[in-house]
Amino acid sequence: MKGLMAAGQAKAVVVMGVSGSGKSSIGQGVANRMGWTYVEGDSLHPQANVDKMSRGIPLTDEDRWPWLDLVGAELARAHSKGHGIIVTCSALKRIYRDRLRKAVGGDLYFVYLDGSPDLLASRMRERRGHFMPSSLLESQLATLENPEGEPGVISVGIDEPVDVVIDAAVFQLAKL
């Protein structure tokens, strides 16, 4: 295969989007299909960030920098060893995505999970056991800088069943 899926080529991919877009499900599914390592980006948040979000307080850039550095380090570690890796990360602003690109020091690809605010809100209301309350969706949508048109970014709609979204992501990644 060409591009990202060529044999022997290091692959670093961020599955991104606002809360409720399905980053964890899609990221895990793509990693499984590709035989790559999967890292849940939320698990890299400092406890102070988790506590803040749990209280319904949006994160600031200053809150996000240490987290983004941990995400970047995970991506860079796998990339330097030639291992494929999928990491979930909201990556809401271009400056965040550029920071991750710099950390990797090579090609970094983003799968942007795109959905309507109504669908996202519905998903957030239905999920259980996540620290991010649905009240923060509005702040995430306000912060989001759409990544379409940036290098190495593919956009996948999330209004289909999970397997269909995973198929679309894998198909588009294969074309890079």
Residue with tokens 């989001």: 144
Which residue's structure tokens are 């999330």?
158
Superfamily, domain 10-174: P-loop containing nucleotide triphosphate hydrolases (3.40.50.300)
pTM (two decimals): 0.87
Phi/psi for 110 (5° steps) reads: -125, 135
| CA angle (120, 103, 85) in 5-degree steps | 60
Name the band, by pLDDT with cuts 50, 70 and 90, for residue 123. low
pLDDT in tens, 49-74: 988 888 888 889 999 999 999 999 99
Extended strands (E) in the chain: 12-16, 37-39, 85-88, 109-114, 153-157
Find the helix packing angle between 94-104 and 61-80, rounded to 10°.
30
Higher pLDDT, 119 or 88: 88
Quote the tokens at residue 35. Answer: 């035989």
